[in-house]
Structure 1
Amino acid sequence: MQSPPKSLQSPPSGTGKKSRAPFVIVGGAIVAAAAIVGGVIAIPAVSGASDAVASGTDEVPSVTGKPALGSPRDPLSADELGYALHLATADASVPGDVTSVDGSEAPQVLSVDVSTRDVDHAERIVDVVLYDYTSNRTILQAVNLTTGGVESSASAGVQPPPSPDEVDYAFGLFLDDAAASAAVRDEFAAITGTALESIDQLGVSGGTFLPDASTIGGEACALDRCVEMQFRVPGGGYLDTTAFVVDLSAHTVIGIR
Structure 2
Amino acid sequence: MASLVPILTILSLGMAQAGAEELDFDIELEIGSTWQEKNKVQIPNDRDGDRFLLTDIAGSGPWASARINANWNIAGPHGVRLVLAPFSYEERGSLDSDVRFDGKTFEGGENLKASYRFNSWRLGYRYQYYDTNGWKLWVGATAKVRDAEIELRQNGVRASDDNIGVVPLLYLAGEYRFAERWLFQFDFDGLAGGPGRAIDLALKLGYEVNDRWQISAGYRGLEGGADTDDVYNFAWFNTALVSARYRF
**Shorter-chain TM-score: which interval?**
under 0.3
Higher helix share: 1
Structure exhibiting the larger radius of gyration computed from Cα positions? 2
Higher strand share: 2
Given the two structures, how large is their TM-score scaled by the length of structure 2?
0.28
Given the two structures, how large is their TM-score scaled by the length of structure 1?
0.27
